[in-house]
A and B are shown apart, each in its own frame.
Chain A
Amino acid sequence: GQQLNQSPQSMFIQEGEDVSMNCTSSSIFNTWLWYKQDPGEGPVLLIALYKAGELTSNGRLTAQFGITRKDSFLNISASIPSDVGIYFCAGRPVLTGNTGKLIFGQGTTLQVKP
């Protein structure tokens, strides 16, 4: 099936540092979503993007929908210990339209050292 390539796979950073992760696809997407998963829980939606070039913020989080529609990135500024978790990108391919299909990346595991 179609895949999203998410990088990096893992990050270990110091509290207060900024974090950046990205996701790329070989095909065009019409929606990009970023989720966070805490241990023992299901993923929770952080940010949703619907237009190429769109830049959206949610507190210390900022995400962008790439202009080519094949990529997206997520930035976290001034990280804190509760940012620890697995971050997933997810997208809806243009070819599938607004169906129930949603593809996820492999995830970025973030650890923050106090």
Chain B
Amino acid sequence: EAQVTQNPRYLITVTGKKLTVTCSQNMNHEYMSWYRQDPGLGLRQIYYSMNVEVTDKGDVPEGYKVSRKEKRNFPLILESPSPNQTSLYFCASRSPGAVSGYTFGSGTRLTVV
């Protein structure tokens, strides 16, 4: 089944403790992206990647890092999480064609205390 897989689904952590949210897709998509969803703000793009070793900032990149060492994986790294990063995070992927939309994972709910 074609899908984007995120892990974990739920995570509670403490301020300052580094964490990584993994994302993997099995559709051989070139483009991948991370979004965060907050009430009243919709989905805001954190980072996106157009291919291996090619990443770019979205609208809210502060406090996050990403890497794209392999085509299928696009982990999101929070080096020093803070409470304002408590949110619902989505990974997504798509093919590079201009007519394609992102396929989303099921989300990771992160709470930073």
* B32 near A107: Cβ-Cβ < 8 Å: no
Number of A-B contacts (CB under 8 A): 74
A102 and B90 CA atoms in complex are apart in Å by: 13
Enumerate B33-85 residues with CB–CB distance to A below 8 Å.
33, 35, 40-45, 48-50, 56, 58-60
Q: Which residues of B contact A105 (CB under 8 A)?
A: 42
Chain B residues near A90 (CB-CB < 8 A): 43, 101
Q: Does A45 contact B (CB under 8 A)?
A: yes
Please classify how large the interface on chain A is, using the bins under 10, 10 to 19, 20 to 34, 35 or more.
20 to 34
Please report which residues of chain B, range 84-105, place their CB below 8 angstroms from some CB of chain A when the two chains form the complex: 90, 92, 94, 96, 98-105
Question: Would A41 and B106 count as touching, CB distance under 8 A?
Answer: yes
Contacts of B90 in A (CB 8 A): 42-43
Given A42-B92, A43-B90, verify A100-B50 contact (CB < 8 Å): yes
